[in-house]
Amino acid sequence: MCHDPDSLPPVPPGGQPAASDAPTQVQSSDGTRVLAHEARPARPSGAGVVILPDVRGLHPYYRHLAVRFAEIGHETVAIDYFGRTATTDDRSAAFEFRPHVEKVTPAGVAADVAGAVALLRSRGATDVFTVGFCFGGGNSWRQSAETPGLAGAIGFYGRPESLSDVVDRLQSPILMLMGGADQSIPVAAAEALAARASRVVPAECVVFDGQPHSFFDRSYAEHSDACDRAWQLIIDFIGRNRSSGQA
């Protein structure tokens, strides 16, 4: 299963309190009003992060995660997918997300990401990355092809087929973070996709042995080592793909 409203993202190393965080709206490049949550760092690194949630949309896990990224210096905005179909901003456990997910399109996601990238650039971010989870993991990787000028695309436990039709158009580096014990996504398929993508852009698939789907969650002590390793991989990926070469 994906992260639920009771999940909590792990704390990154070396962070400091964010300067601010608050609900906001993003104007999609096609004019759609996008529900979002923005977190701003006390000491901006110059990098920005667009968070793409799982199928439940912008529920509390991703609002908290935006703050975690701001704590390590990155301008961050977590976006929702359902501005074109939902009539409420409620993304609690009561939200019936499935009918809305079925109406989400790659073009709509790309337009929403473009709006989020524009917001982050207006905040001073010069290098923008996407980070997604499950449904958002695959959509994050896809932005390597769909979002011009993106510095990199990171995805946890995404579905490889969400990227397969755009591999030849990839433009920015990809990091795939997969659970070795994930029963819903075959590791072999993710590794095969990474090998194919690596012929076009730098692409890496890291498998966390013994870890299930949605392991990036501090609610479970048994995942703590994997969470620490995942944070370090994200920090390193952002650092080496910055135009300035800084983390």
Which residues are registered as beta bridge partners of 33? Answer: 27
* Residue 221 belongs to a domain: yes
* Residue 50 belongs to a domain: yes
* Residue 68 belongs to a domain: yes
| pLDDT per residue as tens digits for the range 176-195 | 999 999 999 999 999 999 99
* Residue 43 belongs to a domain: yes
- In the prediction, which pLDDT does 218 show? 87
**pLDDT above 70: residue 89:** yes
Residue 44 — φ and ψ, nearest 5°?
A: -60, 135
Q: What is the count of structural domains for the chain?
A: 1
Per-residue H/E/C for 105-133: CHHHHHHHHHHHHHHHHHCCCCEEEEEEE
Nearest to 236 by CA among 12, 8, 9: 12
More confident residue, 123 or 222: 123
**pLDDT above 60: residue 1:** no
- Exposed, middle or buried, 149 (CB in 10 Å: 0-12/13-18/19+)? exposed
* Residue 144 belongs to a domain: yes
| pLDDT per residue as tens digits for the range 44-73 | 999 999 999 999 999 999 999 999 999 999
pLDDT bin (cut points 50, 70, 90) of residue 213 is: very high
Which range marks the domain in which residue 51 is found?
A: 20-240
* Residue 1 belongs to a domain: no
Residue 46 — φ and ψ, nearest 5°?
A: 95, -10
pLDDT bin (cut points 50, 70, 90) of residue 244 is: low
Interior CA angle at 81 toward 76 and 82, to 5°? 135
CB 155, CB 175: distance < 8 Å? yes
- In the prediction, which pLDDT does 220 show? 81
* Residue 10 belongs to a domain: no
Nearest to 144 by CA among 116, 119, 122, 163: 163
Per-residue pLDDT averaged across 165-180, rounded?
98
Report CA Rg, the chain.
16
CA dist., res. 247 & res. 243, Å (int): 10
The residue type found at 93 is A
- Exposed, middle or buried, 202 (CB in 10 Å: 0-12/13-18/19+)? middle
**pLDDT above 60: residue 247:** no
- In the prediction, which pLDDT does 6 show? 81
Which residues are registered as beta bridge partners of 27? Answer: 33
CATH number assigned to the domain comprising residue 55? 3.40.50.1820
- In the prediction, which pLDDT does 227 show? 97
CA dist., res. 52 & res. 215, Å (int): 17
